Amino acid sequence: MLTNNDIARRLRYLFDFDDKAMLGLLQSGGKTLSRPQLLSLLRREGEPEYLPCDDATLEALLDGFIRYRRGARDNELPPPPRRERLNNNLILRKLRIALSLDEDAMLRVFQLSGLPLSRSELSALFRRPEHVNYRPCGDQALRNFLTGLEEYLASQEAHAKLAGAAPKT
């Protein structure tokens, strides 16, 4: 089972965030934690001082990540906490927003993870739960997305380096 702690830990390592950056993301998302609390959230279940990451904390981290990647709007306040449970579909949506991934990029990430999706399957993950074509995003799909995202970002970085190092004509 994919836990909120797993997602927070994967984001930290995927984007190489240090403790200060993680605390800044959380604060930007409306949640203030101490460094020891953060370190406890990043521990694995069963390790000493493990602290489960609740939905509000993960959502604050994701909202802070969106602000970090896309910039904050003028006079923007952190959003109020959700009344419903944070689910994998909402986590996937927030990651898509933060990284400005279009449909083709999302499909590529899933392809790289070994879980190819069709356009309609991807679209179903972003529909409202009451929609007839809504599809819940399972733990394995989100885990695969995070795995594919690592490879996708590495290839994007490689392309950017190659473009920057291209000989001038």
Tokens of 17: 């965030």
How far is Cα 82 from Cα 56, in angstroms, rounded to an integer? Answer: 8
* Buried-state track 148-158, b at ≥16 Cβ within 10 A, e below 16: bbbebeeeeee
Domain count, the chain: 2
Query: Model-level pTM?
Result: 0.88
Per-residue pLDDT of the chain (169 residues), as tens digits, is 899 999 999 999 999 999 999 999 999 999 999 999 999 999 999 999 999 999 999 999 999 999 999 887 777 666 666 667 899 999 999 999 999 999 999 999 999 999 999 999 999 999 999 999 999 999 999 999 999 999 999 888 766 766 665 444 4
Q: Domain containing 27: what range? A: 1-84
CB 53 within 8 A of CB 41: yes
Query: Do 92 and 79 lie in a common domain?
Result: no
Instruction: Please report the pLDDT score of residue 82 as a whole number.
Output: 63
Query: Do 134 and 151 lie in a common domain?
Result: yes
Query: Do 113 and 78 lie in a common domain?
Result: no
Give the closest residue to 116 by CA, choosing from 126, 124, 106: 106
Instruction: Please report the pLDDT score of residue 94 as a whole number.
Output: 96
Query: Do 74 and 137 lie in a common domain?
Result: no
Instruction: Please report the pLDDT score of residue 73 as a whole number.
Output: 74
CB 67 within 8 A of CB 28: yes
Instruction: Please report the pLDDT score of residue 157 as a whole number.
Output: 79
Instruction: Please report the pLDDT score of residue 79 as a whole number.
Output: 63
Q: What is the DSSP string of 73-119?
A: PTTPPPPPPPSSPP-HHHHHHHHHHHHT--HHHHHHHHHHTT----H
